[in-house]
Amino acid sequence: MAQLFTKHKQIEGEIDDFLDLIIESGLLFKKGVHFYLDGRSEEFEVRLADLRRLEKDADNLRRSIETKLYLRTLIPEFRGDVLGLLEHSDAVLNKIADTLLLFSVEIPETLEDMNELHYDLAHNAIDASENMVKAIRAYFRELSAVRDNIKQVQFSREETNRIAEKYKRDLFQRTNLRLSHKIHLRYFAHNIESIADEAEDVCDRLAIAAIKRYI
């Protein structure tokens, strides 16, 4: 991050810590989904509790970074872009946590023979968020690498959408399920899919911010 925060190592460290929390949230989400689908409810609830604590830590850290950026009048020409990236990437973390919480609150009756698709859907959605973090880090450290990392996010989002569509098609072609059951499971697939969509939205903002840095 030397290009933006050469003399402000504390800010640099806090942004790194914040991005690490997004990575950790994705790992907890994947574990949580696996435990839920495998019927390991106690282990699922532990991962959910860990993720909710992490979400609060990330919110506090983001606010700390934002306060320092304003009070110390750091990088005024790029501050708005940095703040926007932090806020929208925090929204991705919140989406991850909220989606896992829904499993605990609504207790969907998942289908064992579709678990593999559900696993793939969760993993690809989190791949998008992880590649989003790489793209943001590149914005601070190696601007020329931003574009390649954004491409990875777009690929992960496309894969997530493809898997979600297959899951929904397979689900609604079944004649032995109630319509309400199909709609409920489709809702969960949609929420997981939206993690990747929101990660791509962050990268749309990032692409514009990177162009500004080049000008």
Average pLDDT over residues 14-26: 96
CA distances from 156 to 41, 94, 95 (A): 28, 19, 17
182-215 pLDDT, tens digit each:
999 999 999 999 999 999 999 999 999 999 877 6
Average pLDDT over every residue of 52-66: 95
Helices (runs of H) and strands (runs of E) counted in the chain = 7, 0
Between 88 and 68, the higher pLDDT residue: 88
Quick count: other Cβ atoms within 10 Å of Cβ 43? Answer: 15
Rounded average pLDDT over 118-128: 98
* pLDDT value at 2 more than 50: no
3-state secondary structure 139-189: HHHCHHHHHHHHHHHHHHHHHHHHHHHHHHHHHHCCCCCCHHHHHHHHHHH
Contact 126, 153 (CB under 8 A): no
pLDDT at residue 3, rounded to an integer: 58
Which residues are CB-contacts of 141 (< 8 A; sequence separation ≥ 6)?
A: 1, 2, 3
pLDDT band at 75 (very low <50, low <70, confident <90, very high): low
Expressed as residue numbers, the domain containing 161 is 2-214
Q: Supply the CATH number for residue 64's domain.
A: 1.20.58.220
SS3 string of 29-82? HHHHHHHHHCCCHHHHHHHHHHHHHHHHHHHHHHHHHHHHHHHCCCCCCCHHHH
The average pLDDT across 104-123 equals: 97
User: What is the residue-averaged pLDDT of the chain?
Assistant: 92
Q: Which tokens is 61 given?
A: 């850290």
CA distance 188 to 41: 17
Spatial separation of the C-alpha atoms in residues 199 and 23, rounded to whole Å? 12
Give residue 11's pLDDT band: very low, low, confident or very high (50, 70, 90): confident
**Total domains, the chain:** 1
